[in-house]
């Protein structure tokens, strides 16, 4: 179905949280220091976005328009709290890894933004897909930034993976005597990396637009001026 394809395309590329909407910068700065941390937060974000979009789409006819924002915030905060408690109780090993990231999701404005812009106006299935697609858009960008910052900042990849897969080890990408590059680990490193990725995305979009325009001109030239 093309509507679903649009939702997925919007979330992952066209309206990407980090590259196009620039929402969710707070968790991005805090957590994208290593690939494992970044991907863990991304996965937890997908889960919370799926649940919050689902809950609000289901309850949308009960929520008066005038007080929708406080109700949305209430629902999102309650869901994050319950997810946090459930992870702690039933998936304790995973909680030891992801635990500190779950409360951080509340600081991610993309959750409220999608609830307000999408789930409050659309059906259950579409809203769930939108939550997952937006979360996936967040996941791949924060994962890429986490990987780049980790390689440049400390010369490794997958550090911390042994918390998830006990037998795995971090890969040493740069020589072992690499002194590290502290700026990349500190928040400015996240800004620099994100700026480069946004520039790259804008360049790709501009090139695609030019091609489309050229194509249109060629197609329409014989018919109209």
Partner 1 sequence: MSDPDEPLEIAHPEESGAMRIAIRTAAVLLAFTLAFTAFMSSAWYLTAPRVAASAQAEKLRLIGEVLAPTLYDNALLADAITLPPQTVLGLDEDTRLFRARKNGAPVALVLEATAPDGYSGQIGLLLAVAADGRLLAVRVTRHKETPGLGDYIDPKKDRNKARPWITQFSNLGFAQIPIDQWRVKKDGGHFDQRAGATISARAVTNATRQALAWTVARRDKLFALPNNARFTDSSEE
Name the residues that contact partner 1, by CB under 8 A.
Answer: 30-31, 33-34, 37, 62-67, 70-71, 74-75, 78, 81-82, 85-86, 88-90, 92, 95, 100-101, 116-117, 121, 154, 156, 159-160, 162-163, 170, 182, 185-186
In angstroms, the Cα distances linking 224 to 211, 212, 217 are 19, 17, 10
* Nearest-approach distance from CB 221 to partner 1, in angstroms: 39
| Spatial CA neighbour of 24 closest among 116, 147, 114, 118 | 114
d(CA 61, CA 124): 12
* Nearest-approach distance from CB 195 to partner 1, in angstroms: 20
* Nearest-approach distance from CB 47 to partner 1, in angstroms: 15
115, 168 in Cβ contact below 8 A?
Answer: no
Nearer to partner 1, 69 or 208 (CB): 69
Nearer to partner 1, 1 or 65 (CB): 65
Nearer to partner 1, 121 or 211 (CB): 121
Nearer to partner 1, 85 or 213 (CB): 85
């Amino acid at each position: 179905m093309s509507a679903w394809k649009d939702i997925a395309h919007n979330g992952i590329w066209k309206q990407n949280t980090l590259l196009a909407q620039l929402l969710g910068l707070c968790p991005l700065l805090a957590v994208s220091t290593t690939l494992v941390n970044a991907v863990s937060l991304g996965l937890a974000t997908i889960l919370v976005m799926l649940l919050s979009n689902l809950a609000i789409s289901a309850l949308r006819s009960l929520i008066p328009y005038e007080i929708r924002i406080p109700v949305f915030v209430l629902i999102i905060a309650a869901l994050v709290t319950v997810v946090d408690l459930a992870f702690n109780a039933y998936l304790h090993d995973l909680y030891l890894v992801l635990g500190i990231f779950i409360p951080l999701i509340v600081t991610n404005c993309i959750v409220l933004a999608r609830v307000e812009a999408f789930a409050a106006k659309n059906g259950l299935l579409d809203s769930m897909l939108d939550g997952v697609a937006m979360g996936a858009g967040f996941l791949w960008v924060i994962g890429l930034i986490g990987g780049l910052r980790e390689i440049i900042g400390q010369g490794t990849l997958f550090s911390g993976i042994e918390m998830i897969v006990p037998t795995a080890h971090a890969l040493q990408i740069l020589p072992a005597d690499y002194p590290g590059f502290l700026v990349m680990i500190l928040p400015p490193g996240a800004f620099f990396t994100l700026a480069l990725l946004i520039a790259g995305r804008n360049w790709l979009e501009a090139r695609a637009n030019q091609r489309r325009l050229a194509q249109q001109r060629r197609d329409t030239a014989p018919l109209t001026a």
